Amino acid sequence: MSRFHGNTQPPAGSVLEQLLAKYVDYMDSLRRESFLDDQFTQLLKLQDENNPDFVGEVVSLFFQDSERLIGNMGTALGKKSVDYKQVDADVHQLKGSSSSIGAVRIKNVCVFFRNLCEAKNLEGCYRCLHEVTQECVVLKNKLNTLFMLQKQIVAAGGSIPVD
Rounded Cα distance, 34 and 18, in Å? 24
Number of residues forming the site for another protein (CB under 8 A): 25
Q: How far apart are CA 82 and CA 75, in angstroms?
A: 9
Q: Return the residue of 92, 127, 140, 142 that touches another protein, per CB under 8 A.
A: 92
Measured CA to CA, the distance from residue 41 to residue 118 in angstroms comes to 33
Rounded CA gap, 61 and 64, in Å?
5
- Give the residue, chosen from 30, 101, 116, 139, that forms a contact with another protein under the rule CB under 8 A: 101
Angstrom distances, CA of residue 101 to CA of 31, 57, 66, 115, 132 = 13, 11, 12, 22, 15
Among 38, 53, 67, 83, binds another protein (CB under 8 A): 38
Task: Please select the residue that binds another protein; options are 52, 56, 71, 96, rule is CB under 8 A.
Answer: 96
Q: What is the nearest approach in angstroms of another protein to the Cβ of residue 114?
A: 12
28 touches another protein (CB under 8 A): no
- Residue pair 62/101 in contact (Cβ under 8 Å)? The answer is yes
Contact 34, 160 (CB under 8 A): no
Confirm or reject binding of residue 119 to another protein (CB under 8 A).
no
Kindly tell me which of 102 and 158 has the beta carbon lying closer to another protein. Answer: 102
Q: At a CB cut-off of 8 Å and minimum separation 6, what does 87 contact?
A: 73, 76, 77, 117, 125
Stretch that binds another protein, among 27-35, 98-106, 129-137, 146-154 (CB under 8 A): 98-106
Report the residue number, 25 or 57, with the smaller CB distance to another protein: 57
Residues that bind another protein (CB under 8 A): 3, 38-39, 42-43, 45-46, 48, 50-51, 54, 57-58, 61-62, 65, 89, 92-93, 96-97, 99-101, 163
